[in-house]
Amino acid sequence: MNQISIIALIETHLDGERAASLCNQIQYNGHARVDARGHSGGIWLYWKKNEVNVDILFYHHQHVTIKVSQSLTEPWLLADDFNETTSLSERHGGNQEMQRRCDQFKNCIENTSIIDLGYSGAKFTWSRGRESLETRKTARLDRGLRDSLWRTRFSDAFVQHLPAISSDHSPLLIKTNGLVSPTRGTKPFRFLSHEEFENFVKEKWRNDTPIVPFLKTFAEDLQEWNKTVFGNIFRKKGHLWSRIAGVQKTLVERSNKYLLRLEYRLRCELDKVLAEEEELWFKNLDWKLSAMGTETLLIFIPQRLFGESDLYKAADEPPPSINLPKNCFPPNLASDYEKLMRPFTTQDIKAIISSMSPYKTPGPDGFQVIFFQHHWDTIQKSFCETALKILHGQNIPEGLNETFLILIPKVDRPKMVSELDI
């Protein structure tokens, strides 16, 4: 995706002057277009002349036919709405003219030695006239095509036809690793805006227990609470999604009015659930925007050197002093030596927690910073006790400093650790 040679934009709804302006902005020196008719249609095509040769064969208000010449050495995959089928069995109904078009599309695929990825799910990816059996039309217009190199590299790949919900086309989900499910860890908790969550935390949180083992138990309680309270919307959505997929698959094999009415009713129910989910995410967005505010990078020593706030007055119960050698700092910091020797306090810890980005990626325990910020009054006692012990020389409890690391290769097929970035 970082080196795109050709870009096609459809339904632009804009005139040609905008297209020419965009062409100059994105630095694609090849450009062809079909202007919109009023506020509908419009096709803009851009390409890099130094990478591909594009010949315009035919213009139409609904499509542009082009010939692309390029020496391809890498595997490639083409997935799209081709608006054609390879046989009459891939559509509901047809005539002699339709059979001719099917033969042409099939011959095009065979002559270019490309391979259909196949599919799972409902047979057809497009439908129209869902209100009655008399007007209903269906076809498999969407598919994935690949070359032999792509097939060799992703031998387990396949296409899944997802349920058609808000469109007359089914989305295509292309899985390169077959049916293997990704490994799932503890998910970040996403229900801070729920009206019952505050009471749940106050009831379950224990300040008389070591925080590391307690967080693990508390996370399990949260997951269960999520399933029974907060997760109800997502269960409904998944259940309705599966039922719609089953109905649409059955409609291919045997159409009847009951199944059409059932599909319509399920889609209406799903629309309501999606509206509830959208409202929920908007609430979470409000939490996020209000929590982020103006972020400032805060580090212990610079804040102590230059901060004049009452935040850094002595703690209620001063911990042991920290003895720092005077000759390890530049002369211009000598006047701040006393500030550097001041013991860490609970106020210091609160300042750092407050300054952190609330929605940074969580660690293996699934807790984001926003959880500790929002429930600070409830959790601060056990949290600060653990943090102060570590800051004043005690060992870090096992499991507290665990994190996720993503190794990014700097070269193709890395063989040494030095060839990876973190």
List CB contacts of 12: < 8 A, sequence separation 6 or more. Answer: 18, 19, 36, 42, 43, 44
DSSP secondary structure of 71-113: ---S--EEEEE-S--SSGGGBS---HHHHHHHHHHHHHHHHTT
- pLDDT for the residue 307: 40
User: Which domains are delineated in the chain?
Assistant: 1-71 (no CATH), 75-183 (3.60.10.10)
- pLDDT for the residue 85: 92
CA–centroid distance for 356 within its chain: 23
pLDDT tens, residue by residue, 31-51: 888 877 776 778 888 888 888
- The tokens 């058609």 sit on which residue? 164
Instruction: Report residue 379 as tokens.
Output: 């959790």
The rounded distance, in Å, linking the Cα atoms of 149 and 157 is 13
The rounded distance, in Å, linking the Cα atoms of 136 and 142 is 18
List CB contacts of 389: < 8 A, sequence separation 6 or more. Answer: none
pLDDT-above-90 percentage for the chain:
6
- pLDDT for the residue 288: 47
Q: Which residue type does 165 have?
A: I
Q: Higher model confidence: residue 298 or residue 114?
A: 114
* Confidence category of residue 221, pLDDT binned at 50, 70, 90: confident
pLDDT tens, residue by residue, 59-103: 887 778 888 877 667 788 888 888 899 999 898 866 778 888 999
Lowest mean pLDDT among 5-19, 65-79, 380-394: 5-19
> Helix 376-391 and helix 346-355: axis angle, to 10°?
110
- pLDDT for the residue 10: 79
Highest mean pLDDT: which of 35-39, 137-141, 150-154, 327-331?
137-141
The rounded distance, in Å, linking the Cα atoms of 158 and 176 is 7
- pLDDT for the residue 403: 78
- pLDDT for the residue 290: 45
Q: Residues 363, 373, 379, 234: what is their CA dihedral angle, to the nearest 10 degrees?
A: -60
pLDDT tens, residue by residue, 241-255: 889 888 888 887 777
* Confidence category of residue 306, pLDDT binned at 50, 70, 90: very low
Q: Is the pLDDT of residue 285 over 60?
A: no
CA distances from 106 to 63, 90, 103, 111, 270 (A): 20, 12, 5, 9, 37
381-418: buried (b, 16+ CB within 10 Å) or exposed (e) per residue? ebbbebbbeebeeeeeeeebeeeeeeeeeeeeeeeeee
Q: Give the mean pLDDT of 289-311.
A: 38
* Confidence category of residue 140, pLDDT binned at 50, 70, 90: very high
Among candidates 319, 295, 313, which has minimal Cα distance to 392? Answer: 319
Lowest mean pLDDT among 3-7, 93-97, 324-328: 324-328
pLDDT tens, residue by residue, 159-213: 989 888 878 888 999 988 776 555 555 555 555 556 677 888 888 898 888 888 8
Tally of CB atoms within 10 A around 100: 10
Among candidates 2, 11, 5, 3, which has minimal Cα distance to 33? Answer: 11
Burial classification of residue 82, based on how many CB atoms lie within 10 Å of its CB (0-12 exposed, 13-18 middle, 19 or more buried)? middle
Among candidates 5, 152, 24, which has minimal Cα distance to 72? Answer: 5
pTM of the model: 0.50
Q: Higher model confidence: residue 30 or residue 329?
A: 30
* Confidence category of residue 327, pLDDT binned at 50, 70, 90: low
SS3 of residue 276 by DSSP: helix
Mean pLDDT computed over every residue of the chain: 77
**Contact between residue 144 and residue 117 where contact means Cβ atoms under 8 Å apart:** yes
